[in-house]
Structure 1
Amino acid sequence: MVAHDTYAESIPADLTARDEAARRHVLREEAARLRVPPRDARAQAGRPALPTGGFPGSAADWEARLATAEELNARLRASEAFTARLLAASRDSIQVLALDGTVQWVSEGGRAAPDEAVVGTAWAASWPEPGDRVAADVALAAARADRTGRFRAPSGSRDDPRWWDVVVSPIHGPDGHPERLLAVARDVTEAHRAEEQQALLMQEMAHRVKNTLALVQAVATQTLRSAPTVEAAMKAFNGRLMALSDAHDVLIRGAWAAADLAAVVEAAMAPHIDAVAGRVIAAGPGVSVGPRSVLTLSLMLHELATNAAKYGALSSPSGRVAITWDLAGADDRVLRLRWQESGGPAVAPPSRGGFGSRLIERSLVHSFGGRVSLRYPPVGVVMELEAPLAAMQEGTA
């Protein structure tokens, strides 16, 4: 077959392309020459001369054999070209290794996983981290033992690594035993980053759930301690839970990273807004606050609004509530928030502090290191809060 290929390749390509009859003529001449080899050539080689008949078969037979060889060679070249295109189109890193782990062949995509994996080098040693090199050695040992090895490892720069899911499998020889090894690495960088982000979100969610449960426990304890009856305790507790629920809705819209203060105020005051125009006025610059601040401020506004609906400005059709805030300071900025009631019945200081006043006077100060004052002038309740903006924004993105 090799001899046939050599003779076929000796045919001029332009002659084959231009004139099919000429190609057949050349083939017939080659067939005739093969059928009758020179006698002196065999004599010089020390072999007896062939009979006059030469090689068996007619010129047509030899022409058919040469044509078949030519067709088979064309198919082989087309198959090799298709395989090369297939490997070039693959996004995976494909490498052929010797049994000792030496790189023998690398696909175009394989040159990136890792960067140092080149022909003639030790494949396992090319992984940058010592732990990854150990994992590569373990995968090689598994493949040599006629099993499949697998691990995940990064390559490239530490600041922006590419992550690879690597599978090492045996390439069997004619005897059925591993002859070489095949290492295929798939780029899973995006999936790896998504898994890291999901794990981080789960940890953050667990932390927030614990904080929320602790807050609910504190609300329940304070409500039961100050309520005169079980019915009153249930009503107050349900209202406070709804305030927490509304606060969570605001946080969810902000992907639990932050929430706009105006949205927090709107959610907390929504149950108390009626058809009377200007009943509740909220004004201030755009300020983002963190998850902990959202929950605490929501509860604070809920308590102020509930008291205003029972005894203060919101218990009268002419009553009004103004909630305003601004930022003070240049470097260490301070958030200032003010609650001002007006137009309602005359107000008197309570005989004893309830849950709302304790939440406002203690929790906010302890949580954010600020200052708060709660006053009861006859014209309406006034609450003023000042807290470091950085503390209020703790946990924001």
Structure 2
Amino acid sequence: MEQFTGQAVEDSKGLGWLETVHPDDHAAVMAAWQDAEAKGGLDCEYRIRRGADGKYIWHHSRSLPSGESETDWLGTCTDVEELKELQSRQEVMVAELQHRTRNLIAVIRSLSEKTVRTSTTLQEFSEAFGHRLGSITRVQGLLSRLGETERVAFDELLAAELSAYIYDKEKVTLDGPPGIRLRSRSIQTFALALHELATNALKYGALSAPKGRLTIRWQIERVDGDPPSLYVEWTETGVQNMPTADEPARGSGYGRELIEKALPYQLRAKTTYELRSDGVRCTILAPITFDA
């Protein structure tokens, strides 16, 4: 203790040692000492000032009567600073897990409600809801493999979504830089948007047409000093008998609603969705500031 605190033994006698304890911990330490005799020992944690740099370090103090006299006690103070830091990180991780779980439940609940509204039969609901849950599962698989400070890259997310739907890679052109990291809070919505685009392309669009082609391009854009944004362009060509803009949407229409309403609301994205003569063209411009 003398070497750690720099306090001489003579100065530590009586309550002198309390000068090396963090002021905020004085009351807890004194209360523990007052109860120690009745409890048969001392067991408490508090911060002790390190003489070398004045930093307060968490210690776990244990002490027991030595048996030689009523006033003689034998004890130890164990450095638990690293353990405290690990516990603090664990608390942060648990809080983050709870936050993500609540968000995930909210996403699934919203997804089920929207799927119910756009389904005409139980089988149709089961199929659509199952595919959308699959998209969320793939995202969770990506997130579970990340370290504490890592983020999912757009090309990884795109590859995970397309792998579930694209069987003829000759129909697809991908053009964009790897490693563009997405905000964690945007992953679910982005994944669902890609899922809906891919599903519609497979059922009604370029991936279902004999001469259909799908081109996906992406890049980083910076406009007028704004934070960087990810620009994604999804273009389908070679599709015959495209519906006009005033015709009812093919399928549930949830994909278009997600892109035109949910992405701007949740991600502050700017989006377009066009039904052209030979296929769909969709663009997404979403901020990708690297926060949680």
Give the TM-score of the pair, scaled to structure 2.
0.87
State the Cα distance separating 1:305 from its structure 2 match.
Answer: 0.4
Paired residue type of 2:194: L
Per-residue CA deviation, residues 72-130 of structure 1 (Å, 9 max, x unaligned), is: xxxxxxxxxxxxxxxxxxxxxxxxxxxxxxxxxx4xxx532x55474332123320223
Paired residue type of 2:274: R
Is 1:309 the counterpart of 2:215? The answer is no
Q: Where does residue 135 of structure 2 map in the other structure?
A: 243
Q: Any residues of structure 2 matched to 1:157-176 within 5 Å, and which?
A: 161-173=56-68
The structure showing larger relative contact order (alpha-carbon pairs under 8 Å, at least 6 residues apart) is: 2
SS in 2 for 1:272: coil
Highest Rg: 1 or 2? 1
8 Å CA contact 1:285–1:326 kept in 2: the answer is no
Paired residue type of 2:21: W
Q: Any residues of structure 2 matched to 1:97-108 within 5 Å, and which?
A: 106=1
Structure 2: distance between partners of 1:225 and 1:159: 64
Structure 2: distance between partners of 1:140 and 1:219: 57
Is 1:358 the counterpart of 2:257? The answer is yes
Q: Where does residue 154 of structure 2 map in the other structure?
A: 261
Per-residue CA deviation, residues 298-328 of structure 1 (Å, 9 max, x unaligned), is: 1000000000000000112432222221122
Structure 2: distance between partners of 1:276 and 1:361: 28
State the Cα distance separating 1:143 from its structure 2 match.
Answer: 4.2
State the Cα distance separating 1:280 from its structure 2 match.
Answer: 4.7
Paired residue type of 1:153: Y
**Of 151, 170, 187, which aligns to 1:277?**
170
Q: Where does residue 327 of structure 1 map in the other structure?
A: 220
Paired residue type of 2:20: S
Q: Any residues of structure 2 matched to 1:161-240 within 5 Å, and which?
A: 161-173=56-68, 177-240=69-132
State the Cα distance separating 1:145 from its structure 2 match.
Answer: 4.9
State the Cα distance separating 1:364 from its structure 2 match.
Answer: 0.6
Is 1:125 the counterpart of 2:125? The answer is no
Gaps of 5+ in 1: 1-105
Structure 1: distance between partners of 2:28 and 2:44: 6
State the Cα distance separating 1:278 from its structure 2 match.
Answer: 5.1
Paired residue type of 2:112: A
State the Cα distance separating 1:366 from its structure 2 match.
Answer: 0.5
Q: Where does residue 347 of structure 1 map in the other structure?
A: 242
State the Cα distance separating 1:344 from its structure 2 match.
Answer: 3.2
Q: Which has the higher helix share?
A: 1
Structure 2: distance between partners of 1:282 and 1:246: 22
C-alpha change, 1:238 and 1:124, in structure 2 (3 Å) is same
The aligned length equals 280
SS in 2 for 1:281: strand
**Of 185, 190, 193, which aligns to 1:300?**
193
C-alpha change, 1:346 and 1:159, in structure 2 (3 Å) is farther
Give me the identity figure in percent: 25
8 Å CA contact 2:66–2:74 kept in 1: the answer is yes
C-alpha change, 1:123 and 1:139, in structure 2 (3 Å) is farther
SS in 1 for 2:279: coil
8 Å CA contact 1:279–1:319 kept in 2: the answer is no
Q: Where does residue 22 of structure 1 map in the other structure?
A: none
8 Å CA contact 2:229–2:287 kept in 1: the answer is yes
Q: CA RMSD in A?
A: 2.4
SS in 2 for 1:140: helix
C-alpha change, 1:142 and 1:201, in structure 2 (3 Å) is same
8 Å CA contact 1:144–1:178 kept in 2: the answer is no
SS in 2 for 1:139: helix
Gaps of 5+ in 2: none
SS in 2 for 1:254: coil
